[in-house]
Structures are given as C-alpha cells and as structure tokens.
Amino acid sequence: MPQLLDRWGHTMVDWIQSLTRLEQTFFVCAAVGSVFFLFQLVLVSLGGGGGGADVGADVVGDIGDGALGDADLASDGHHPSSDLGFKLLSFQGLTAFFMLFGLVGLAMSKGSGLGGGISALTATAAGFLGMLVVAKLFRLFIGMQSSGTINMKNAVGKTGRVYLRIRAGAKGQVEVAFQGRLRVCDAMSADGSEIPSDAHVEVTGLEGSTLVVKRLS
C-alpha cells in the first residue's frame, strides 16, 4: 500500500509538471475550490452553514425568480444590482467560481486543444454561471432544512442586521436569529426610510409576514 501511494504521488507530480503555466493555474483553482466547496457542502448538510454550531439558516419569504443569488427583487420591481453583486461574493459563490473556472479551463485546454485565451474566457464564464447556480441551490437547500413551524411573532423585539438593503418605502431583507436559528426574512422600515445593508436593526412589529424594523444607532 505505501508503495502504491508513493507511485501514485510521483505520477501525479509528473502530470502536474507536464502542464503549462495556465493549466497549472486551472488545476490549483479547481483543487482549492473543490476542497472548500465540499467542506461548505458538508457544513450546510449538518445545519451549520449559516452561523455558529447551534444556529442554522432559514429563508422566510419569496425568492425572486430574476435574482439567482442571495437576493430578492425589491418590492418596487427594480433589481438591487449592487446588493446582488455583493451577495454573490459569498464563500459559496467564490468556491464555486474557482472550482468551475479550474475544471472547465483545464478540460478546455487539455481536451479541446483550444488556445489559452479561449480556454480562460470559457472558464471565466463557467465560473460566473456556477456562482449564480450554486448560490440558488445552497439557498434552496438551506431553506429545506427548516424544522418546525415558524412563528414570526417570535422575531419581534429581536435585533439583527440588514441582509439586503431596505429601500425607502419598499422591502428588503434582514438576518434575525429566533426560534434557535438564523433566518433571512422580508423586512420594511418602520418610518419608511432607507436602511443600508449590514446596518443593525431591531424588529418592532409585523405587517403580514414582513418584519417591521427600525435602525439602531
């Protein structure tokens, strides 16, 4: 067994050394991205992807069909593009980008014989597509892990932070921990003012299934 592993190790080293500089870059991206992606997948399946050991993550509210990342459409029908771009730069999104960038780039370069420029462009496009798809899949997967009935009244009085900017007179999303889990919920400002992403807020009431929040100074 040790001899087999040693032989495999030498073969792997020889194969890596036979790659071009660009192909070695693809390989490193694929290896690092795959390891961290699988690690994050295990964390999410164990219920720890959203925070501490005892806090999971649920999604309360509708996920807009037009925003394939960690973002909803604002209630006025506009895409909060700056927030969506920020949310795509999540741990899951970045690992998915590097994994697919590396795998597709290496496959294109070694398998198709295309030039490095075309391989890099194709790999980049695949990486960005992977960010969108994986963000959506992780979101759905986490949402499926919700256990028990969610009583939104339990969020009143809790503090959290703005996950997706709350526009003036419109809805956004906040992260609030209640019923033992960290949840992403639709929210609106109590006084109708805009509240930026990452601002700390307190839940003061409910309007249907939407949390009413005020910004904490």
Q: List pLDDT tens digits, range 147-160.
A: 456 788 999 999 99
Residues 171, 127 share a domain: no
Residues 186, 119 share a domain: no
Kindly state whether residue 62 falls inside one of the protein's structural domains: no
State pLDDT tens for residues 98-148: 999 999 988 888 777 667 788 889 999 999 998 888 777 766 766 655 545
Judge whether residue 53 has pLDDT over 60.
Answer: no
Residue pointed to by tokens 């003012």: 193
Name the percent of the chain lying above pLDDT 90. Answer: 34
Of residues 201 and 15, the one with the higher pLDDT is 201
Kindly state whether residue 161 falls inside one of the protein's structural domains: yes
Distinct helix (H) and strand (E) counts, the chain: 5, 6
Judge whether residue 3 has pLDDT over 50.
Answer: yes
CATH number of the domain that 179 lies in?
Answer: 2.40.50.140
pLDDT, position 83: 45
Nearest of 191, 195, 196 to residue 204 by alpha carbon? 191
Residue 166 is which amino acid? I
Judge whether residue 35 has pLDDT over 70.
Answer: yes
pLDDT (average), residues 10-33: 83
**Considering the chain, what is the average pLDDT of its residues?**
76
Give the span between the Cα atoms of 139 and 130, in whole angstroms. 14
pLDDT (average), residues 10-21: 77
Residues 98, 30 share a domain: yes
Kindly state whether residue 69 falls inside one of the protein's structural domains: no
pLDDT, position 160: 93
Alpha helix ranges (H) inside the chain? 2-18, 21-45, 81-88, 91-107, 116-144
Kindly state whether residue 101 falls inside one of the protein's structural domains: yes
Kindly state whether residue 68 falls inside one of the protein's structural domains: no
pLDDT, position 1: 58
Kindly state whether residue 63 falls inside one of the protein's structural domains: no
Residues 98, 11 share a domain: yes
Residues 190, 108 share a domain: no
Residues 164, 94 share a domain: no
Domain-ending residue, one of 101, 126, 144: 144
Longest dimension (CA), the chain: 71
Nearest of 57, 54, 53 to residue 92 by alpha carbon? 57
Domain-ending residue, one of 126, 144, 162: 144
Residues 95, 175 share a domain: no
**What separation in angstroms does the CA of 122 have from each of 23, 59, 69?**
14, 33, 21
State pLDDT tens for residues 63-91: 443 333 343 333 333 334 344 444 445 77
Residues 107, 46 share a domain: yes
Q: How many domains does the chain have?
A: 2
Task: Pick from 16-30, 114-128, 171-185, 198-212 the range whose average pLDDT is largest.
Answer: 198-212
Residues 179, 106 share a domain: no
The domain containing residue 165 runs over which residues?
Answer: 152-215
Continuous segment of H or E residues that includes residue 189: strand 181-189
Question: Which band of pLDDT confidence, cut at 50, 70 and 90, is reported for residue 60?
Answer: low
pLDDT, position 189: 95
Residues 202, 137 share a domain: no
Nearest of 66, 52, 32 to residue 136 by alpha carbon? 66
Residues 104, 171 share a domain: no
Helix (H, G, I), strand (E, B) or coil at 63: coil
Kindly state whether residue 99 falls inside one of the protein's structural domains: yes
Kindly state whether residue 59 falls inside one of the protein's structural domains: no
Give the span between the Cα atoms of 71 and 58, in whole angstroms. 14
Residues 125, 88 share a domain: yes
Give the span between the Cα atoms of 140 and 151, in whole angstroms. 20
Query: pTM to 2 decimals?
Result: 0.47
Nearest of 40, 49, 16 to residue 99 by alpha carbon? 40
Question: Which band of pLDDT confidence, cut at 50, 70 and 90, is reported for residue 9?
Answer: low
